[in-house]
Amino acid sequence: MTAGGFGPSSKPGTGYNYDTLAADLDALLKALDLTDVSLVGHSMGIGEITRYIGTYGTERLKKAVPIGTIGPYLVKTPDNPEGRIRHECQLGGRNWCFAHWHRRLRRCVDQDFHTDIPRNDIPTMISHGDDDSILPADATSRRQTKMIKNVKFVELKGGSHGLT
């Protein structure tokens, strides 16, 4: 499945957020009456899967495979000191301002998944590169691993965000 805004799918001008993407995934799973589904996603796709689980649960799911995960929350705030991105500028050591980001990315990176992640009660394998400068493992996968009960964490030495 290609999420809205990516690949050949439509490029919505509004409503592009993880709530909408999760609702689209739910509609697809229900329309096709799919169960025992294994969801595999990369980067922003993990936000969609995480929000789906947080909102709709795991009844239709069998497994999850987050690759280069985005959660639990990237923005550094007083109540999230482990975050890495200051609201104004900073991503992967680069000086990128959110104001200059494409609106899709800006809306999706600034999401808090703290309440969604613990709802994941299915077998999950998180795979992440230890050299990911876009979504550093310390701010993402290593933290998320501690929040899921049935998880296996595979960290790829030298792996970048694209795991190459």
Which residues participate in catalysis according to the annotation? 43, 132, 161
The residue assigned the tokens 């280069």 is 68
How far, CA to CA in Å, does 139 sit from each of 74, 80, 144? Answer: 7, 10, 9
Q: Is 146 exposed, middle or buried (0-12, 13-18, 19+ CB in 10 A)?
A: exposed
Contact 16, 107 (CB under 8 A): yes
Convert 95-128 into a string of H (helix), E (strand) and C (coil).
Answer: EEEHHHCCHHHHHHHCCCCCCCHHHCCCCEEEEE
The token pair at 93 is 């050591």
CB neighbours of residue 52 within 10 Å: 27
The residues with which 153 forms a beta bridge, in sequence order, are 126
